[in-house]
Amino acid sequence: MKFNTIKLRIEGFNQLKLLSHFQKEEVRVFEVEKISPRVLILVIQKKDGKKVLAILEKMCYTHSVISSKDAKSVLRNSLGRLGLIITALICTIALSMSYGFIWRIDIDGNEKLDELIIQRMLDEHGVRVGTRNRNVDADSLINSFNALDEVLMSSVEVRGTTLVVRLVETIDYIPPHIPTFNDIHSRFDAEITRMVVYEGTPMVILGERVFKGDILIGAHVMDFYGLEKIPTPASARIYGRVAFSETVIFNETAFELQRTGRRHVSDEYRILGFSFGASSHDFARYEYHRQEMTLFENFFVPLRSLRTVYYEVELIEHTRDVNAHAEQLKSEFIQNMTIKAGSSPISTSHVLTKVADGVYRLSVFVEAELLIS
């Protein structure tokens, strides 16, 4: 367990460059966790706090403090949990001693019948919270409930310390359902290529350009004179030519983490909010694999084992083949688009632009025929 540490959430691109800068400034980081290409979570020592803050402000990264840990806070949390466990034990003993009484009343099925009427009938039969189980006359209660005009049948049952009252109310007249019909709208900006209309009135024609949300098929038909709309279901399969684009900015220089072959195994045990047995390592950068197991699971207070294997890694810098990397990014985008298009043919194009020294922008354009209804 490490004390005097701060857990930070850092947002910004080029996270490996930031970690490299920490190494140059001799800032030790622990438990590095990459949440997304923009979000990184790590732990630093409190003594490096000002130095880390200066680095983040200089490199224009945003950050927030998730937690701060020292010996006093850990002791305070542990004592708080110990009090909670003692309270739970006292409550368990008290409940077991009071098992012969009704401590809860569940009422179900009373959509029309006011719950106050049910409570009044229970009071008339001497049934309330704190009543002994053997004093509950279930048959008498059932007869009283069934005598009500709103109740078709009922049941009363004692389950442990809970009295369960189930009611089936009489059925009122339900007016017939009047269906409503919805228009079919376009899911994309597209140019109409094919239309198969089963029901409803087409609101577009082949070759027409539509935008996302436009009505394709109206949920109506016109009367004999063409003056009045008659509601009807709308059903159709409308296809359109849809254009997609994706823009990615990447650096010619890239960093990657490689394992050095060194590793460290830490076994930690946890019980009643306390933990012990964990060991630390001296890796500046590392990856880890964590496995948690529960020992003596059927005991009232189970013991948990947490094994963490740390692998030392080092930061390796290399120069990409710009054209090859652009082709890889393009292929990934086209592959995703092919899944959406299914068997429909697609057309593609791309533009690769150098926007600064070592920085490139790749724009990929794809057109495909998709089901837009």
Number of C-beta neighbours around residue 145 at 10 A = 24
Six token digits for residue 113:
């019948």
pLDDT at 264: 93
pLDDT at 1: 45
Number of C-beta neighbours around residue 244 at 10 A = 19
pLDDT at 310: 93
| Angle of the 15-24 helix axis to the 49-58 helix axis, nearest 10 | 130
**227 contact partners, CB below 8 Å, separation of at least 6:** none
**Architecture of domain 104-169 in this structure:** Roll (3.10)
Q: Which residue has the higher pLDDT, 334 or 76?
A: 334
Q: What percent of the chain has pLDDT over 90?
A: 17
pLDDT at 361: 92
Question: Nearest Cα to 153, choosing from 163, 140, 143?
Answer: 143
| Of the candidate ranges 120-124, 163-167, 233-237, 331-335, the one whose mean pLDDT is the lowest | 331-335
252 vs 318: CA distance, rounded Å = 9
pLDDT at 205: 93
The residue with tokens 């926007």 is: 355
Q: Note the pLDDT tens digit of each residue in 104-138.
A: 889 888 888 888 888 888 989 988 888 888 888 88
pLDDT at 2: 61
Question: Nearest Cα to 216, choosing from 207, 205, 227, 226?
Answer: 205
Kindly tell me if the per-residue pLDDT of 30 is higher than 90. no
pLDDT at 77: 57
Q: Are 350 and 330 in contact (CB under 8 A)?
A: yes
Angle ∠(97,99,103) on CA atoms, nearest 5: 115
Quickly state the pLDDT bin for 211 (edges 50, 70, 90).
Answer: very high
Domain boundaries in the chain? 5-71, 104-169, 184-238, 247-253+320-371, 263-316
The average pLDDT across 41-50 equals 83
**% helix, strand, coil for the chain, step of 5:** 25, 45, 30
The average pLDDT across 219-235 equals 89
Kindly tell me if the per-residue pLDDT of 229 is higher than 70. yes
Q: Note the pLDDT tens digit of each residue in 64-93.
A: 888 776 656 555 655 556 666 677 677 666
User: Which CATH superfamily is 5-71 part of?
Assistant: ACT domain (3.30.70.260)
Q: Note the pLDDT tens digit of each residue in 261-279.
A: 999 999 888 877 788 888 8
Q: Which residue has the higher pLDDT, 308 or 175?
A: 308
The residue with tokens 């794809």 is: 366
The average pLDDT across 252-265 equals 88
Look at the chain and count its residues.
373
